[in-house]
Homo-oligomer: A and B are copies of this chain.
């Protein structure tokens, strides 16, 4: 299962790159150091609520949109996780097929 701060970091980074903007641009807009923003994007630091709000504002992306994208990514991961615990394909020949073969 993914880790929340990694997903948030990825979504923030994707939003920034989609806009063709630099870490320097966003970090100055959000009044956070470039190094710290980079760590948040790489999932190495948990962003506080206030910092995340500032980054969203600097990106001009609503918090709701960032959270929805993170939620969607988790949903995909959860679905894959469900599949992985589904019964595996049996490696024995089904009984009926065995009977047909025996005829």
Chain A residues at the B interface, C-beta cutoff of 8 Å: 1, 3-6, 46, 48-50, 52-53, 62-65, 67-68, 70-72, 74-75, 78
Copy count, this protein chain: 2
A84–B46 CA distance with the chains assembled, in angstroms: 32
A1–B43 CA distance with the chains assembled, in angstroms: 25
Shortest Cβ distance from A4 into chain B, in angstroms? 4
Shortest Cβ distance from A53 into chain B, in angstroms? 7
Other-chain residue from B5, B46, B74 in contact with A67 (beta carbon distance below 8 A): B74
Whether the Cβ atoms of A48 and B50 lie closer than 8 Å is no
5 residue pairs, one from A and one from B, having the closest CB atoms: A4-B49, A67-B71, A64-B74, A64-B75, A68-B71
- Which residues in B have their C-beta under 8 angstroms from that of A53? 1, 3-4
Other-chain residue from B1, B63, B70, B71 in contact with A78 (beta carbon distance below 8 A): B63
- Which residues in B have their C-beta under 8 angstroms from that of A78? 62-64
